[in-house]
Chain A
Amino acid sequence: MSAETNGPLGGAEQTFDAGLPQRKRVAVAWHTLFLASTIIGVIALTALLYTVINQSFGLVAVQNRIEPASLAVDGVPLAQLTQEQYVAILQANLSPGVFRRYDSEQPFTERSRENLYALVLERVVQPRYVKTWPLIAAFFDRAAIETEVARDFPGAKLVFRSWVTPDFLRSPQASAPELAGVRTAILGSLWTILITILTALPIGVGAAIYLEEYARASWATRLIRTNITNLAGVPSIIYGMLGLAIFVRGAEALTSGAAFGLADPTTANGRTILSAGLTLALLILPLLIINAQEAIRAVPRSLRQASYGLGATQWQTIWRHVLPSALPGILTGTILAISRAIGETAPLVVIGASTFIVVDPNGPFAKFTTLPIQIYQWTSRPQPQFRNLAAAAILVLLALLLTMNTSAVLLRNRYSRRA
């Protein structure tokens, strides 16, 4: 017990070997390790955002088939011409057959000025993106790009373009990258998710209520609970195969709408929004059940006791106290499960998503495509412009997911503050 072996506080006994330097080294090592994991995560996320954003904005070399300047009439630029002048331009530049077809789709005399102008741009001016450059290159290699355009594409004009535009959201899928948009994909995703929510939420909550409140403890209920947990870990492609077997093939009469006389005559098979929604519902059902069970279990026992003590029935207790208390938790979990479903691709490929749809889906029996399917399809196209479209669609998808997850967090915070 000499003073030298003790710290400045003195008085330490020999039965304790403080080993403080050693303990501190261990602490620092763990600290560093955790910091490193965080940094790796941040780098991965940044890399993802970097690629997506880099591809979503940039320079494009636009080459027009007919220069708008040459279509000016008496010095009035193309954009400011009258309806009659646009019709005249169309008549002069389109083949008579094509011209008649547009007229019979909707008579030129009834079309708006904007519609005619868009038609002139699309069919007469016909801008083509001959080459694109990503955002970073646009900033740092501008001069090199300009010389390249001047040398390789003499008639082309170099413009800066964002691939995410209001038009991109509004236009349907198209074969030309200049015109293609995600409207049909967004609508398809929304329809599918609607069906997923409408089926999975009531079934999931119902099953959770049954398992938590009604089911007696027996080996059968234990088996069911364990299996639900295991189902939550099954790869999503398996659910796709299940959906293909059950909804697309097995219940084709229902999912194609034929049983209701509502089948889409162009398909009339089971590869519909309804099948997709039901398959995704199947996929997230285990997650929903587990989450709802946890939310219900978290309702304090004292609340149930208070209710029963007043002479409430089990159903009154569940409906008026347990469910309202569990609702924020159930909704938060549901939103998170839904955002998982929105991003699912594999099962939808398996049940046969359409890759090219130009008309808006008009109900549960329509053919479908969704945002991730569209992205998948665009990235597998050879032309580089589709890579930009895919990046833009990824941004749209990310924005959608971010909105949903934020609302889940807000919901949770709001209710946990109240309680």
Chain B
Amino acid sequence: MFANHQPIVPATIPAPNGEYAIEAQGLSVFYGGFRAVKDIALKVRTRKITAFIGPSGCGKSTLLRAFNRMNELIPTAHAAGAVLYHGQDIYAPDVDPVEVRRRIGMVFQKANPFPKTIYENVAWGATINGYRGNMAELVEQSLRQTALWDEVKDKLQQSALALSGGQQQRLCIARAIAVKPDIILMDEPASALDPIATLKIEELMRELAQNYTIIIVTHNMQQAARASDFTAFLLMDSDRAGTLIEYGPTRQIFTRPTDQRTEDYITGRFG
């Protein structure tokens, strides 16, 4: 199925070793004629947690989805500029978005497990991507990495829809890492969860950051401050297109922001 597509990671480039996992260059995303994000230039560091913050509607989700071409599911959406993944532009005409999404996984705001068993949820992505190893082992390993194994090991054959909201979200993360991506994109993964479940997800992100590059969109300032290594602040400009205002180590953004607008936003003096 993928035979006609040149692999997006040429064999000569060793897997994620570089300092930057993914890089946006002059990236704009449009919905029809409306430009939702504009001229974003951003380098995301490998095996770190990068948070996108900014007011509602400034284009955080749009930018996040541009990193694995999920925007293409929206008929009117299209992107301009480049997103470099190991030096390869994922928007180049010979790159298959299917391959991109296997390498750059996604976790959504609302947990969306398949209406299947817990086991099938974790195994499905690996199956369709032609995983040839021991599937039971992969499922167990993925569930252990998301600290879900002990809670579900006795009911792997039960419906995933019977799990609690927090468990479902962790299952979705387990499902995403079961296809062995490099990067995991998370769009407000904890916004529908209670504080305890939220903390669990944050702990989990810390664990995962040892092996994966994580980009997270969040509305929760404490969460960004607590859980991320780097923070990017976005804001709508005069024609309502999201622009990158400031990007740097989280500590610096939250303690010594260089831009007045960033300071206004994180201190809550901003709409």
B179 touches A311 (CB 8 A): yes
B124 touches A304 (CB 8 A): no
Indicate which residue in B102, B107, B108, B114 contacts A321 across the interface (CB closer than 8 Å). B114
**Nearest B residue to A302, CB-CB:** B112
B172 touches A306 (CB 8 A): yes
Assembled-state Cα–Cα distance A45/B102 (Å): 59
Instruction: Report B103-118 CB contacts with A as 1/0, cut-off 8 Å.
Output: 1011110101111000
Assembled-state Cα–Cα distance A325/B112 (Å): 14
B80 interfacial contact with A, CB 8 Å: no
A311 touches B172 (CB 8 A): no
Q: A304-B73, A309-B106 are in contact. List 15 more A-B contacts (CB 8 A).
A: A302-B112, A303-B112, A303-B114, A303-B115, A306-B112, A306-B113, A309-B101, A309-B105, A309-B108, A310-B124, A310-B175, A311-B101, A312-B125, A312-B128, A313-B98
Residues of B within 8 A of A325 (CB): 115
| Secondary structure dominating the interface of A | helix
A223 interfacial contact with B, CB 8 Å: no
- Measured between C-beta atoms, what is the minimum distance from B189 to chain A in Å? 13
**What are 5 A-B pairs at a CB distance below 8 A?**
A307-B114, A308-B70, A309-B68, A310-B125, A419-B161
B interface residues, how many (CB within 8 angstroms): 28
Assembled-state Cα–Cα distance A217/B105 (Å): 28
A51 interfacial contact with B, CB 8 Å: no
Residues of A within 8 A of B70 (CB): 305, 308-309
Residue of A216, A303, A309, A316 ringed by the most chain B CB atoms within 10 A: A309
B93 interfacial contact with A, CB 8 Å: no
B99 interfacial contact with A, CB 8 Å: yes
Assembled-state Cα–Cα distance A309/B105 (Å): 6
A interface residues, how many (CB within 8 angstroms): 21
Known contacts A320-B124, A325-B115, A310 near B105 by CB under 8 Å:
yes
Residues of A within 8 A of B124 (CB): 310, 320
Residues of A within 8 A of B115 (CB): 303, 325, 418-419
A311 touches B75 (CB 8 A): no
Assembled-state Cα–Cα distance A325/B116 (Å): 11
- Measured between C-beta atoms, what is the minimum distance from B191 to chain A in Å? 14
Task: Identify the 4 closest CB pairs spanning chains A and B, nearest first.
Answer: A311-B102, A310-B125, A302-B112, A309-B106
Indicate which residue in B102, B108, B128 contacts A305 across the interface (CB closer than 8 Å). B108
Known contacts A216-B75, A304-B73, A316-B128, A310 near B101 by CB under 8 Å:
yes
